[in-house]
Amino acid sequence: MVLSDDPITAAYQAYLDKLIEAGLLIPSGVMGVYGRSGTFEHIVERFENYVTRMGAHLQPEVIRFPPVLTRHNYQCTDHLESFPNLMGSIHSFLGGEREFVELVRKKQNGEDWSTDLKATEVMMAPAACYSLYPACSGVLPENGRIVDLTSYVFRHEPSVDPARMQIFRMHEYVRLGTPGQALEHRDYWLDRGEEMLRAAGLDVKRVVANDPFFGRGGKMMAASQREQDLKFELVVPIASEEKPTAIFSSNYHMDHFAHVFGIKTSDGKCAHSACVGFGLERITLALFKTHGFDPATWPADVRQTLAL
């Protein structure tokens, strides 16, 4: 346990300690990387099924990508320019016998052997939808596409805050089509997501938000994103009442990804996209914080909503 004079950091540590003591999270020795107990995973599974049920009437395509994407497709985006501190690049040993001997020697002598690794053709996925856009290159069907995605995503953001994990799951619904279709999707799910989370007993608040763009230029990008109302979040206190946590996000990308990957509407115009995401670990942590660590004691209406 790390003691802190900062009340918010202390609140994070206190809740993390309780989660570990209850056996819900299993520490790895690295901040933001945890094992999850069967009870924790059961709630993740129940909530994910709830998200699927609530979107079934839209008849979305269901697609699952691994938590990696190609380095080529990653480099087509501006993620490196916007969030270099959050990315995860996968490196491996690509040498021969002579280089292998040197690699082992460094490891055995306690030297830094990672400098002998080379970049592979894959990156850790920073968002579930990043693998979708290059797969949609070309002309969309007349009514566009609605896609249901779930994936682990990675962000190098080690923190004592148990809700700020380095690797976590997002359940997303992505809409590709006209500007009107994308905005309608964004607004629909913002309302529906709020209703769903409140039905699960979470007192969420809707806020205008921005992505954590890096550097001085990032401040201007964040301000522009907020001014255009491109991103909204639903937040709720998890470890800290003073600093509530985003557990749902709703984003309108305009034609950003479609322009990068050549996605067109059926009439030949550059498509627009919007995605909404439920943070499954964060929502589970919020449910435990709100209702207690034993799901058997949760309110009957919440148990019914989540089919527990």
Q: What is the predicted pLDDT for the residue at 210?
A: 76
Q: Examine residue 2 and state whether it is found in any structural domain, yes or no.
A: no
The one-letter amino acid at 161:
D
The Cα-based distances of 237 to 72, 112, 283 in angstroms read 38, 41, 11
Q: Examine residue 41 and state whether it is found in any structural domain, yes or no.
A: yes
**Which residues does 301 contact at the CB level (< 8 Å), separation at least 6?**
199, 201
Q: Confidence band (pLDDT; 50, 70, 90) for 3?
A: low
Residues 137-172 as b or e (16 or more Cβ within 10 Å = b): eeebeeebbbbbbbbbbbbbeeebbbbbbbbbbbbb
CB of 126 within 8 A of CB of 79?
yes
d(CA 198, CA 287) in angstroms, rounded, equals 11
d(CA 302, CA 287) in angstroms, rounded, equals 10
3-state SS class at 290: helix
CB of 87 within 8 A of CB of 80?
yes
**Which residues does 9 contact at the CB level (< 8 Å), separation at least 6?**
160
d(CA 238, CA 243) in angstroms, rounded, equals 9
Residues 32 and 119 in one domain: no
Give the CATH number, domain containing residue 211: 3.30.930.10
CB of 280 within 8 A of CB of 169?
yes
What pLDDT, in 10s, does the model give residues 43-72?
A: 999 999 999 999 999 999 999 999 999 999
d(CA 32, CA 28) in angstroms, rounded, equals 9
What pLDDT, in 10s, does the model give residues 71-92?
A: 999 999 999 988 999 999 999 9
Q: Which of 67, 97, 123 is the last residue of a domain?
A: 123
Residues 119 and 259 in one domain: no
**Which residues does 175 contact at the CB level (< 8 Å), separation at least 6?**
144, 145, 146, 181, 182, 184, 185, 186, 273, 274, 275
Strands 25-27 vs 34-36: parallel, antiparallel or unpaired = antiparallel
d(CA 288, CA 69) in angstroms, rounded, equals 32
Choose between 44 and 214: higher pLDDT: 44
Structure tokens that stand for 66 in this block? 């691994």
Residues 212-235 as b or e (16 or more Cβ within 10 Å = b): ebbeeebeebbeebeeeebbbbbb
Q: What is the predicted pLDDT for the residue at 4?
A: 64
Q: With a cut of 60, say whether residue 212 has pLDDT above it.
A: yes
Domain range for 81 is 7-88+126-305
Q: With a cut of 80, say whether residue 216 has pLDDT above it.
A: no
pTM of the shown model: 0.94
Q: With a cut of 90, say whether residue 143 has pLDDT above it.
A: yes
Sign of CA dihedral 227, 212, 155, 159: negative
What pLDDT, in 10s, does the model give residues 9-24?
A: 999 999 999 999 999 9
Structure tokens that stand for 196 in this block? 């769903």
Q: Confidence band (pLDDT; 50, 70, 90) for 7?
A: confident
Residues 20 and 33 in one domain: yes
Rg (CA), the chain: 21
Q: Confidence band (pLDDT; 50, 70, 90) for 136?
A: very high
Choose between 8 and 149: higher pLDDT: 149
d(CA 125, CA 143) in angstroms, rounded, equals 28
Residues 112 and 233 in one domain: no
Residues 266 and 198 in one domain: yes
Q: What mean pLDDT, rounded, does the chain reach? A: 94
Q: With a cut of 80, say whether residue 219 has pLDDT above it.
A: no
Q: What is the predicted pLDDT for the residue at 230?
A: 79
Q: What is the predicted pLDDT for the residue at 211?
A: 72
Residues 242 and 273 in one domain: yes
Residues 84 and 99 in one domain: no
What pLDDT, in 10s, does the model give residues 243-299?
A: 999 999 999 999 999 999 999 999 999 999 999 999 999 999 999 999 999 999 999
